Amino acid sequence: MKKLYAVLTLILLFSTTSIFAQDFAPVGAKWVYTVDFSSSPNIGYETIESISDTVIQGKTCQKVVAPEGHQELSGGTKFLHTNNDTLFIYDTTTQAFSPFQIFNAQAGDEWDFVYTPASLGMTPSIDTLHYIVDSVGIEIINTDTLKKVYASSILSCAGWSIEDTTKIVYLERLGDLYYLFNYNNYSCNPAIDADIIGGLRCYSDPDFGSYETGIVDSCYWIYDPTSVAEINNENSLKLWPNPANNELNIQLTSTVYELSIYNINGQLVKQINVFPTQHQSLTIDVADLPTGIYSLVGVTNHETIKVKFMKQ
């Protein structure tokens, strides 16, 4: 496998300003992501924005602001620098640039992204996200041909001595299709009741224009169950196992007329046939559902009942 560490070091040592026309995160760029908030039954959105240019260590950087509070992701203010085909992030603690994404990478390429995570009161540690490129391709968006990289990443957490392997897909210009800064922000501290990011909804910048991925009906769509008098009532609708693999068992203790499964973006993915009979038990096949968070929704004659479950 090709080792890129030396090459990336030389890029930074011999470049005081980027010779690459800045395409990534120009001022005015905005990313909109779906979020399933753990603190409420709502599904909404979060935005990341590039707000200004600045110069750090002689390098032109973009100041990008991301929301904080998502335990499994990195938020706050970031400083991005692009040189040739490589996106670097500046670590304000170590005062060093580290290669985050390489848009012209080839299958087999490897590199380390080194950063200081938020410590949540613990002793700060230096964590490493090791990228290994699985394959590459292209995608045409808004008449632009963009390079697409499929990679595996291994997160090594010095403070916790554990590793977490994640699949990464990122596009030239748009970045990671799951979340722009898709790396752990808290020294691999396990996220409990964490908000769930559902992927990129929209991207726009002054030169590229606007692009919607289509995972929801619009960039700023919000699912608010209070508008349909929804309640979370696990006594009326029970399910197991949770998480589920191939089958999901359901016990109805109220008279339910409709039963459906919705994904994290509020889209109907499965309609279940039920008879309006109280105390009905049934088993449904969920093997075809992708891994993720889902809602099982039942409709009675006076309310909507919702129970969340995870598909492994």
Q: Are residues 48 and 151 in the same domain?
A: yes
Q: Are residues 251 and 205 in the same domain?
A: no
Which range of residues forms the domain containing residue 183? 5-212
Sign of CA dihedral 142, 146, 151, 156: negative
pLDDT of the residue at 37: 67
Asked whether residue 112 carries a pLDDT value surpassing 90, the answer given is yes
Q: Is residue 220 part of a domain?
A: no
52-69 average pLDDT score: 94
Q: Is residue 135 part of a domain?
A: yes
Q: Are residues 196 and 134 in the same domain?
A: yes
Q: How far is CA 285 from CA 56, 164, 247, 271, in A?
A: 54, 29, 5, 11
Separation CA 291–CA 27 (nearest Å) = 35
Separation CA 211–CA 82 (nearest Å) = 22
Residue 286: CATH number of its domain:
2.60.40.3080
Strands 162-171 and 144-157: antiparallel
Q: What is the DSSP letter of 108?
A: T
Q: Is residue 87 part of a domain?
A: yes
- Percentage with pLDDT > 70 across the chain: 73
Q: How far is CA 25 from CA 3, 51, 69, in A?
A: 27, 9, 22
Separation CA 138–CA 132 (nearest Å) = 18
Q: Are residues 201 and 80 in the same domain?
A: yes
Q: Are residues 162 and 247 in the same domain?
A: no
- Whether the Cβ atoms of residue 56 and residue 67 lie closer than 8 Å to each other: no
Q: Is residue 219 part of a domain?
A: no
- How distant is the alpha carbon of residue 64 from its chain centre? 17
pLDDT of the residue at 127: 84
Asked whether residue 227 carries a pLDDT value surpassing 50, the answer given is no
**Number of domains composing the chain:** 2
